[in-house]
């Protein structure tokens, strides 16, 4: 019909009066079958506010003549089509006029006499609307064949119809009955949504329902941490690694971010590397981390509090026993022991290692003896805690002193010795002790006299009391090496010798001197023997002086063969210089014939 309704004949129509559509062009009861899952929408005629009629294309058209424009005016069906073939009219009455193309349609009025014509327009609508679903205001992610949306998801349906226009849009949520959608939907439940939707135009045409399935994910991931490599509970070492993991059962984890100690430097976690301790200082720290899924659900930040121990143990030594410090040198003896000790304020100690000189390292167990060799030796030691923090190696330099001092005794004043461990001295004789030590040095000299208490030698001393004493002395160096004491017998002799004179003949009388003393008289040729006795030291010598002559050493007996008065002074001296003097006065008588 090419948009113009006319009789298919060469004879023009003759219409007297007016020809018009009045009210609704009465549709038949024919309507399209409802599509599966949709509501039933009958096809119908629609007249827009401007009076333009929209006719469903699958609904036949019959033409009636009405007596007035009123809706209730009588109308009469035109049954005769101006053609020679009467069956055409019959067919028309039975089936009506079928519309073949959508769009503008015209009924033409022709004045048979004047050949003037008018066109009466209506629209044929045979196409359903086209509806699109809009999902917005929420992050979107696709995982496999599943679409996920995050928080704030809105749904809006928009539909277009080129002719009669959209009458309504209907939606079914999760298999429920279709309902008209009049506003934007807020999809704010975490669940899977199965949407079906379609639109109906104003003449009842419906599009095939469209579907959209997706999941709204409102739950953030759940993250956790794990620590590994050289740690003790929540105390970590420089070798430790913190591993983060996160689980999201819907959209999936996009990334994990972390920071330390409320810092602003937020780092995206790299699973291949983990979180290492580089750049962190020794002490307490807080790791703050959270996961973000693929639709931007962000987890509440979690915290892991830990202590990073970068501090090695403190290690020290102690010399137990003999030790002497002089300047930069430390001296020990064979009795000394080396004690090593370490402590760590954060984690337990693992071990202390040491080595002497160039020997292999040993694990310290208990105080140990130094090498028993004279001279310098080195001890290197360190400590390691349970996190393998190693203290810097320390060096201990020591000097072994194995030799005791050597002491010598000197006597100042009278003394005498026969080399058999016996020494004679007087109360005036001073004893001087001198000791020498060429390593650690002399600490003190001690001595003991008889059963008296041991004395520390400070200066030369004497023993004023006559007697015999066991005298012992020894020296100690600064690491308590003690010299073997040297005993000797000390004979203190303050008594002078006793002078003894023996005449070969007894006196034959006496004679009084002017002073009133009685002196003995001996006969001519009397012999005088001189001798001396000493209680301790031996006699050094006897000397005599005869009648004022020079003092002579007594070496042989004196022969008194000259008569006269004699005055002999005798001096005896022992080995200690103790001297006794004795004077003899006597007369030698003239022998008679």
pLDDT of the residue at 37: 60
pLDDT of the residue at 9: 28
**310-346 pLDDT, tens digit each:** 999 999 999 999 999 999 999 999 999 999 999 998 8
Do 432 and 465 fall within a single domain? yes
pLDDT of the residue at 84: 65
- Provide mean pLDDT across the span 128-136: 96
**Could you say which of 364, 390, 416 is where a domain stops?**
390
**193-232 pLDDT, tens digit each:** 999 999 999 999 999 999 999 999 999 999 999 999 999 9
Give the pLDDT band (50/70/90) at residue 153.
very high
DSSP letters for 131-194: EEEEEESS-EEEETTEEEE-TT-EEEEEEE-SSS-EEEEEEEETTPPPEE--S-EE--SSEEEE
Distance CA 53, CA 27 (A): 12
Do 21 and 58 fall within a single domain? yes
CATH number of the domain that 429 lies in? 2.60.40.10
| Helices and strands (H and E) in the chain: how many | 1, 51
Do 324 and 444 fall within a single domain? no
pLDDT of the residue at 554: 92
**237-285 pLDDT, tens digit each:** 999 999 999 999 999 999 999 999 999 999 999 999 999 999 999 999 9
Do 383 and 451 fall within a single domain? no
Q: 335 — phi, psi (to 5°)? A: -90, -10
Residue 400 belongs to a domain = no
Do 514 and 581 fall within a single domain? yes
Secondary structure element (H or E) that encloses residue 422, with its range: strand 422-425
pLDDT of the residue at 198: 96
Local structure of residue 419 (DSSP, 8 states):
S
CA trace torsion 213, 216, 220, 226 (10° rounding) = -20
pLDDT of the residue at 593: 59
**Could you say which of 358, 390, 422 is where a domain stops?**
390
pLDDT of the residue at 514: 82
Local structure of residue 101 (DSSP, 8 states):
S
Q: State the total domains in the chain.
A: 6
Q: 335-374 burial, b for 16+ CB within 10 Å, e for fewer?
A: ebebebebebebbebbebbbebeeeeeeebeeeeebeeee
pLDDT of the residue at 25: 35
- The pair of structure tokens assigned to 415 is 């003394």
pLDDT of the residue at 197: 96
**Could you say which of 70, 94, 126 is where a domain stops?**
126
Is 80 exceeded by the pLDDT of residue 20? no
Do 241 and 145 fall within a single domain? no
Strand order from edge to edge, sheet including 442-449? 415-417, 422-425, 486-492, 467-477, 442-449, 455-457
> Which residues form the domain of 557?
498-589
Mean pLDDT across the chain, nearest whole number?
89
Where is average pLDDT lowest: 320-329, 438-447, 537-546? 537-546
Is 50 exceeded by the pLDDT of residue 364? yes
Is 60 exceeded by the pLDDT of residue 90? yes
In 3-state terms, the chain is what percent helix, strand and coil (to 5)?
0, 50, 50
Do 107 and 29 fall within a single domain? yes
Residue 138 belongs to a domain = yes
Q: Are strands 394-400 and 375-385 parallel, antiparallel or unpaired?
A: antiparallel
Do 33 and 96 fall within a single domain? yes
Do 290 and 386 fall within a single domain? no
Helices (H), ranges, 384-501: none
**379-428 pLDDT, tens digit each:** 999 999 999 999 999 999 999 999 999 999 999 998 888 777 899 898 89
pTM: 0.65
Local structure of residue 206 (DSSP, 8 states):
B
What angle (nearest 5°) sits at the alpha carbon of residue 502, between those of residues 498 and 508? 135
pLDDT of the residue at 1: 36
Specify the 3-state DSSP secondary structure of 93: helix
Distance CA 133, CA 198 (A): 10
Strand order from edge to edge, sheet including 4-5? 4-5, 103-110, 117-125, 53-56, 46-47
Is 80 exceeded by the pLDDT of residue 23? no
Q: 482-495 burial, b for 16+ CB within 10 Å, e for fewer?
A: ebeeeebebbbbbe
**169-183 pLDDT, tens digit each:** 999 999 999 999 989
Tell me how crowded residue 476 is: count the other CB atoms within 10 A of its CB. 20
Do 252 and 184 fall within a single domain? no
Residue 401 belongs to a domain = no
- By the 10 Å C-beta count (0-12 exposed, 13-18 middle, 19+ buried), 425 is classed as buried
Tell how far CA 174 is from the center of its chain. Answer: 56
pLDDT of the residue at 83: 67
């Amino acid at each position: 019909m090419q948009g113009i309704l006319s009789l298919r004949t060469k004879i023009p129509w003759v219409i007297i009066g007016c020809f018009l559509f009045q009210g609704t062009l009465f549709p038949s009861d024919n309507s399209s079958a409802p599509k599966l899952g949709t509501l039933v929408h009958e096809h119908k005629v629609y007249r827009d506010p401007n009076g333009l009629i929209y006719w469903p294309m699958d609904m036949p058209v019959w033409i009636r003549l009405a007596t007035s424009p009123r809706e209730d005016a009588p109308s009469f069906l035109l049954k005769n089509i101006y053609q020679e073939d009467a069956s055409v009219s019959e067919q028309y009455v039975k089936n009506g006029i079928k519309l073949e193309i959508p769009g503008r349609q015209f009924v033409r009025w022709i004045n048979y006499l004047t050949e003037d014509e008018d066109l009466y327009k209506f629209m044929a609508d045979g196409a359903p609307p086209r509806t699109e679903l809009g999902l917005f205001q929420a992050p979107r992610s696709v995982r496999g064949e599943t679409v996920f949306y995050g928080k704030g998801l809105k749904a809006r349906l928009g539909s277009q119809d080129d002719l009669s226009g959209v009458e309504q849009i209907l939606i079914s949520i999760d298999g429920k009955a279709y309902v008209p959608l009049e506003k934007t939907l807020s999809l704010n439940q975490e669940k899977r949504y199965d949407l079906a939707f379609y639109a109906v135009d104003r003449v009842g045409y419906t599009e095939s329902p469209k579907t959209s399935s997706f999941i709204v994910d409102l739950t953030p991931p759940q993250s956790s941490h794990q620590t590994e490599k050289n740690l003790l509970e929540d105390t970590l070492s420089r070798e430790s690694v913190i591993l983060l993991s996160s689980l999201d059962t819907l959209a999936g984890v996009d990334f994990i971010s972390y920071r330390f100690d409320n810092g602003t430097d937020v780092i995206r976690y790299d699973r291949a590397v983990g979180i290492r301790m580089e750049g962190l200082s020794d002490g307490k720290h807080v790791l703050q981390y959270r996961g973000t899924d693929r639709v931007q659900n962000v987890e509440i930040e979690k915290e892991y509090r830990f202590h990073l121990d970068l501090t090695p143990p403190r290690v020290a030594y102690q010399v137990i026993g003999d030790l002497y410090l002089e300047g930069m040198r430390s001296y020990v003896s064979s009795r000394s022991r080396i004690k090593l000790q370490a402590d760590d304020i954060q984690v337990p100690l693992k071990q202390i290692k040491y080595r002497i000189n160039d020997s292999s390292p040993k694990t310290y167990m208990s105080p140990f003896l130094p090498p028993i060799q004279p001279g310098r030796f080195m001890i290197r030691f360190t400590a390691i805690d349970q996190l393998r923090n190693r203290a810097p190696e320390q060096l201990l330099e020591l000097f072994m002193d194995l030799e005791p001092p050597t002491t010598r005794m000197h006597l100042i004043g009278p003394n005498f010795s026969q080399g058999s461990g016996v020494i004679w001295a007087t109360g005036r004789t001073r004893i001087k002790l001198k000791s020498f030590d060429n390593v650690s040095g002399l600490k003190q000299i001690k001595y003991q006299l008889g059963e008296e208490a041991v004395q520390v030698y400070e200066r030369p001393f004497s023993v004023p009391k006559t007697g015999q004493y066991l005298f012992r002395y020894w020296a100690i160096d600064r690491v308590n090496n003690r010299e073997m004491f040297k005993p000797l017998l000390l004979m203190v002799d303050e008594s002078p010798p006793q002078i003894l004179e023996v005449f070969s003949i007894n006196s034959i009388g006496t004679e009084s001197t002017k002073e009133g003393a009685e002196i003995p008289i001996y006969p001519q040729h009397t012999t005088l023997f001189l001798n001396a006795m000493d209680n301790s030291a031996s006699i050094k010598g006897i000397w005599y002086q005869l009648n004022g002559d020079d003092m002579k050493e007594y070496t042989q007996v004196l022969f008194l063969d000259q008569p006269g008065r004699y005055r002999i002074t005798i001096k005896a001296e022992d080995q200690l210089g103790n001297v006794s003097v004795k004077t003899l006065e006597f007369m030698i008588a003239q022998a008679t014939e």
